[in-house]
Structure 1
C-alpha cells in the first residue's frame, strides 16, 4: 500500500492532536473512553460519508436523499449510474445500523415519521 506524503502528514498531525487532547484533559480515563467511542463511530466509511453529506448540506434531508448522496460518494458515480438496488442497500444499512449510532451519539437527529435526517445543532455550529 502506498500513501502520499500529504495524507501521511495529515494522519500524523491528527494523531498528535488527539494525543495532546488526551494529555490536557483532567480525566484521562474518561478521555480515552471518549476517544475510543469517537474512533469507533468514525471507523466505518459509510458513517463518515453520512456525516460528510449532512455537513455539506447543513440542513434536513430525507433519508432516501441522504442514501443517494452516500452511494454517490461511495462509488464515485452519478446517481443515474447507480443501481436502485445499491441505493436501497445503502438506505437500509443507514436506517438499521449507522443512523441509530450517530443519533445516539448526538451527531444527527432523525424523524422517523417524516424519514428526515437533521444535523444536530452543535454539529451545525449553532
Structure 2
C-alpha cells in the first residue's frame, strides 16, 4: 500500500465512470468491507432504479463482469481498494481517507449518488 498521495488526475480518471463512483460512494458510506454482490446491487439500484432481485439476469451479469474485469482492477491499481477475488470482498484502503476531500467534492457533483 503506497503512502504517496494519489495524483489528482488519477482521482479524476478513476471517478470518470459511474460504476466506479457508485463503488467509491458505497464504500465511503459503509466505511467497511463490502461484498461484490452489495456493489452489484448498488449499481443496479442507481443505474436501473430497481432492486437486484428485480434486475434482469443479463444486466446483473454485465454489472458483475464489468466490476470484475474493469472497475475493481482500476480502483485497486489506483490504490483506492483491496479486492479479495476469492472471497468477493472489496475493502477501502487508507488512500480513500487521504483523498476524501477530492472524492467528496467529485462524488457530490453526481446528484444520483448517496451523500458521503
1:114 is aligned to: 87
TM (normalized to structure 2)?
0.70
Query: Could you state the TM-score of these two structures normalised by the residue count of structure 1?
Result: 0.65
Map of 2:67 onto structure 1: 94
SS at match of 2:96: coil
C-alpha displacement of 1:98: 0.6
Per residue, is there more helix in 1 or in 2?
A: 1
Q: Which structure 1 residue ranges, 4+ long, deviate > 6 Å from structure 2?
A: none
Contact 2:10 / 2:78 at 8 angstroms: preserved in 1? no
CA distance in 1, matches of 2:40, 2:52: 10
The question of whether the paired residues in 2 share the 8 Å contact of 1:53 and 1:70 is answered with: no
Q: Distance in 2 between matches of 1:65 and 1:88?
A: 14
SS of residue matched to 1:36: helix
Q: Structure 1: where are the runs of 5+ without partners?
A: 1-33
Partner of 1:67: 40
Give how far 1:107 is off.
Answer: 0.7
- Please state how far the C-alpha of 1:37 moved relative to its aligned partner: 1.9
Cα offset, 1:124, TM superposition:
5.1
Match of 2:24 among 36, 51, 56: 51
What's the offset of the Cα at 1:39?
Answer: 1.4
Considering Cα pairs closer than 8 Å and 6+ residues apart, tell me whether 1 or 2 has the greater RCO: 2
Which ranges of structure 2 fall in alignment gaps of 5 or more residues? 1-6, 99-116
Note the aligned Cα RMSD (angstroms): 2.0
